[in-house]
Amino acid sequence: MASTSSSEPASVSNVEENRTRICDEFAAIAGTDSAVAQCYLADNEWEMEKALNSFFEADMERVFEVENSPEKESIPKTEQKKVEEKPPGDCIDLTEGSPASACKPSDEDDDKLSLITWNVDGIDTKNLAERARGLCSFIALYTPDVVFLQELIPPYVQYLKKRAVSYLIIEGGEEQYFTGMMLKKSRVRFLESEIFAYPTTQMMRNLLVAQVEFRGQKLCLMTSHLESCKAHAKERMKQLQVAMDRMREAHGDVTVLFGGDTNLRDTEVAKVGLPSSVFDVWERLGRQEHCRYTWDTKANSNLAAPYVSRCRFDRVYVRPATTDGVPRLFPDHMALVGLEKLDCGRFTSDHWGIYCSFTAS
């Protein structure tokens, strides 16, 4: 009898203790108090990820006074592909280029293609709203034609859809974290996109591919976030091989651009080998030291890492068109972006972004 009565309160106590712990974790991540944490968790069946997504979507709208967007248009999809064709109403475009920006000439006079690829570290929810706004500021400064993004989460995407209305947004997933593309509507004509899952990934990684036209040229755009961590080198090299095979096999009248957080080490690339038609943009432009390291815990304090790690994880590869008479795009400039701290005292991401421009020849 005594044993039964003592076990029942223990069970209730365990549930309360567990929920208190979850509330404390939520409050620490979201920067709020336990009462707000309990409200969001209770509304989301005590599932941390769902509750955080709900909180940050509401928080972004509250901070920047964003109105709720209308329902998405129904368009054909391949696998999980999502494309935002129509901008929500009553939006202020934070990515509209500034006339004072000397980084890039006007759309009407410029035949160059520009690209930014960036792991925006959406899974780090600290200062997420300000960091998302920081991304939009850099897009406004550089006015890239194409943006490749990695480590997006649903609230981040919803914010971009409301504050980057001059761009078409393609999502490489729907849950947890995923990749995405942004295409400047006035410059890049979207044709179709697909998602190719890596069959043996343990981290939900895939290859997002879009077929587009730019100034009459056919482009195949590809982005991915290859398997992370040193221990997963074998899987990462398999994924690189998939991407390189698709670049090599693309039609001869198409220029292929691949960019993303590859997590690659040079020894791994050497083992896989690049197709003879594919080149690394950083290497082609002379291996400039100032834009070598895109992951640099010595200079980037977002992680507050107790160690120094400097790696060239983020890379851009190109396979120019091979058909005679078709214009070929070649890189003429590369720089790192996101090197300045935001008002919150943190950087836009724990990765630096890469900005590249290309000229047809």
- Give me the active site residues, please: 261
Backbone φ and ψ of 213, nearest 5°: -125, 140
Q: Which amino acid is at 115?
A: L
Q: Which residues contact 144 (CB under 8 A, 6 or more apart)?
A: 104, 114, 115, 116, 184, 355
DSSP label at residue 139: H
Calculate the CA 354 to chain-centre distance: 12
Distance CA 265, CA 236 (A): 10
**Phi-psi category of 138—alpha, beta or left, where left has phi over 0 and alpha has psi -120 to 50?**
alpha
- What are the Cα distances from residue 318, in Å, to 34, 65, 165, 282? 49, 40, 28, 11
Contact of 132 with 105, CB cutoff 8 Å: no
